């Protein structure tokens, strides 16, 4: 065991050195900081697709971090293991005085952190956590009576009223880079060693935010054929950009775009206060719905072969790129849960497998919004008409023709369900369950 006292900074969903809350806390504490990252087998073993672009993205970003730290004379120790096993190994080989990490609000992360906290406490090691990937957490934005908001608009008003420069200030980590532990480079596990494929993937969005897109956001955000959104969600998900930086951009350039970041905080607040909503309907009465759950219809939806062009274009874009435009996400989610009467959880799980920016809170929140069963959801009788959505938001069919080249020809299937029939059936089934 090394005699030198060190502290550990544990990278998770915050893959950057700049403006990183818990990293700043660790470096400022004055004990040399060894950064670590854990490829958590508890999560990776659940991924059936071993050609997963998200794992590829994370691996690339961890390699970048490691190179940045080695340029500072330090390194990044990377584990492929369970978090408990990784920390047991660290404790055996290093004289650790404290561990620092940024908080995560998902149930699995909270259980994981509790186990690590207990393990460290049993070895007289402190575990300090900070708020980093949201602007407001836990009970920082609540109703006047202290209860959590379950409706977005009043939450958003309170969020904006509370916001000031303190919450948007960057953490000056760079000032303390000299406090990284000086050490020889560590070896990093390869994708192959972790049983994942290394491959060329061309659809990772750039990290830099296009200011012109932010400025024109209201005018362009609903039209999937144009680049009218910033695609910032992947970088937010893994913390390769700072939420504080993005909020400053939104505050300066476009309040509507800032509102999308507030939705993200809102959904994080919902899973923190109502963890059951990660798996079950926020409104429990919706779990009485008699879903049809036709597997062959679900397969057609997954493949983008429903006969509804906007739905099919969205699903094919998702399958190929790991991205789907937000307007289209609403249309395809409504179609699955309301036209086909397939449980929203089936769609949520499919998105969880495919989306580059998959984030449990926003994904379950979005799906429950579309199905009508979430907090502040669209009412169950609001059923998107995929044909009128197409006319309104892709009138010239540019988006559809890009992803469904056979559209308009004999190879394209007819609609799998009639909209009028499906709408009436949905209203009847939902009304019966909710009486």
Enumerate residues 6+ apart whose C-beta is below 8 A from 47: 55, 353
188 within domain boundaries: no
Q: Which of 106, 137, 140, 291 is catalytic?
A: 291
Instruction: Give tens-digit pLDDT for 201-255.
Output: 999 999 999 999 999 999 999 999 999 999 999 999 999 999 999 999 999 999 9
199 within domain boundaries: no
The answer on 423 and 289 residing in a single domain is: yes
The answer on 307 and 403 residing in a single domain is: yes
**Long-range contacts of residues 143-152, Cβ cutoff 8 Å, at least 24 apart:** 148/269, 148/270, 148/273, 148/274, 149/266, 149/269, 150/270, 150/274, 150/282, 150/375, 150/376, 151/375, 151/376, 152/262, 152/263, 152/266, 152/376
**What is the pLDDT at residue 3?**
83
Please count the structural domains in the chain. 3
Annotation says 293 is catalytic: no
The answer on 108 and 70 residing in a single domain is: yes
Please list the ranges in the chain whose pLDDT falls under 50.
Answer: none
Domain endpoint, select from 72, 105, 132? 132
User: Smallest Cα–Cα separation from 7: which of 30, 27, 33?
Assistant: 33
**What is the pLDDT at residue 377?**
75
The answer on 417 and 296 residing in a single domain is: yes
Domain endpoint, select from 132, 161, 193? 132
The answer on 127 and 83 residing in a single domain is: yes
DSSP 185: P
Annotation says 369 is catalytic: no
Mean pLDDT of the chain: 96
Annotation says 263 is catalytic: yes
Read off the tokens for 376: 């502040």
Enumerate residues 6+ apart whose C-beta is below 8 A from 219: 228
Domain endpoint, select from 103, 132, 161? 132
194 within domain boundaries: no
The answer on 317 and 244 residing in a single domain is: no
> What is the Cβ-side half-sphere exposure of residue 220, based on CA atoms within 13 angstroms?
14
68 within domain boundaries: yes
The answer on 377 and 351 residing in a single domain is: yes
Q: Which of 263, 278, 319, 385 is catalytic?
A: 263
180 within domain boundaries: no
**What is the pLDDT at residue 1?**
65
Instruction: Give tens-digit pLDDT for 374-418.
Output: 998 778 888 999 999 999 999 999 999 999 999 999 999 999 999
C-beta atoms surrounding 107 within 10 Å? 15
- Whether residue 251 contacts residue 165, with contact meaning beta carbons closer than 8 Å, is answered with no
User: Smallest Cα–Cα separation from 417: which of 356, 343, 363, 338?
Assistant: 338
**Long-range contacts of residues 222-227, Cβ cutoff 8 Å, at least 24 apart:** 222/327, 222/393, 223/327, 223/393, 223/394, 223/399, 224/313, 224/314, 224/325, 224/327, 224/328, 224/393, 224/394, 224/399, 225/394, 225/396, 225/398, 225/399, 225/402
Residue numbers of the domain that contains 242 = 133-170+210-273
CATH code (residue 223):
1.25.40.80
Annotation says 291 is catalytic: yes
Annotation says 326 is catalytic: yes
Q: Which of 140, 326, 353, 385 is catalytic?
A: 326
DSSP 142: B
Residue listed under structure tokens 């730290």: 69
The answer on 141 and 101 residing in a single domain is: no
Q: Which of 24, 159, 301, 344 is catalytic?
A: 344
Residue listed under structure tokens 């990293």: 23
> What is the Cβ-side half-sphere exposure of residue 177, based on CA atoms within 13 angstroms?
15
Q: Which of 260, 317, 348, 359 is catalytic?
A: 260
The answer on 53 and 78 residing in a single domain is: yes
Q: Which of 346, 367, 369, 403 is catalytic?
A: 367
Annotation says 367 is catalytic: yes
The answer on 140 and 120 residing in a single domain is: no
The answer on 144 and 76 residing in a single domain is: no
The answer on 233 and 308 residing in a single domain is: no
SS3 of 344-389: HHHHHHHHHHHCCCCCHHHHHHHHHHHHCCCCCCCCCCCCCCHHHH
């Amino acid at each position: 065991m090394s005699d030198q006292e060190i502290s550990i900074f544990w990278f998770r969903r915050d893959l950057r050195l700049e403006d990183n809350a818990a990293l700043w806390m660790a470096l400022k504490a004055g004990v040399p900081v060894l950064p670590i990252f854990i490829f958590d087998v508890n999560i990776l073993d659940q991924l059936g697709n071993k050609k997963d672009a998200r794992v590829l993205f994370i691996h690339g970003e961890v390699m970048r971090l490691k190179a940045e730290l080695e340029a500072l004379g330090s390194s990044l120790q990377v584990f492929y293991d369970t978090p408990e096993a990784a920390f047991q190994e660290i404790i055996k080989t290093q004289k650790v005085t404290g561990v620092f990490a940024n908080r995560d609000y998902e149930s699995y992360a909270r259980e994981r952190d509790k186990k690590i906290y207990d393990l460290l406490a049993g070895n007289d090691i402190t575990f300090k956590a900070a708020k980093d990937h949201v602007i407001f957490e836990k009970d920082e934005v609540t109703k006047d009576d202290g209860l959590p908001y379950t409706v977005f608009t009043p939450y958003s008003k309170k969020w904006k009223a509370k916001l000031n420069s303190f919450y948007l200030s960057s953490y000056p980590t760079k000032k303390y880079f000299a406090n990284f532990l000086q050490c020889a480079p560590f070896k990093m596990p390869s994708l192959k060693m972790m049983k994942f494929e290394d491959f060329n993937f061309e659809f990772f969005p750039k990290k830099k935010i296009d200011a012109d897109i932010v400025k024109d956001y209201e005018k362009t955000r609903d039209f999937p054929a144009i680049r009218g959104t910033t695609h910032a969600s992947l970088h937010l998900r893994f913390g390769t950009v700072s939420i504080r930086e993005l909020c400053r951009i939104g505050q300066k350039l476009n309040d509507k775009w800032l509102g999308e970041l507030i939705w993200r905080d809102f959904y994080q607040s919902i899973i923190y206060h109502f963890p059951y909503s990660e798996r079950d309907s926020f409104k429990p009465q919706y779990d009485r719905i008699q879903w049809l759950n036709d597997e062959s219809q679900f397969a057609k939806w997954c493949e983008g072969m429903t006969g509804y062009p906007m739905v099919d274009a969205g699903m094919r874009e998702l399958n190929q790129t790991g991205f789907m435009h937000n307007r289209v996400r609403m249309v395809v989610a409504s179609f699955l849960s309301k036209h086909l009467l397939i449980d929203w959880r089936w769609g949520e799980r499919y998105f969880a497998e495919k989306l580059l920016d998959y984030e449990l809170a926003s994904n379950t929140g979005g799906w429950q919004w579309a199905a009508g069963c979430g907090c502040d959801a669209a009412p169950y009788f609001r059923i998107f008409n995929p044909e009128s959505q197409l006319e309104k938001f892709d009138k010239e069919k540019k988006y559809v023709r890009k992803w469904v080249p056979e559209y308009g020809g004999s190879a394209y299937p007819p609609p799998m369900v009639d909209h009028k029939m499906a709408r009436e059936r949905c209203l009847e089934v939902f009304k019966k369950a909710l009486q």
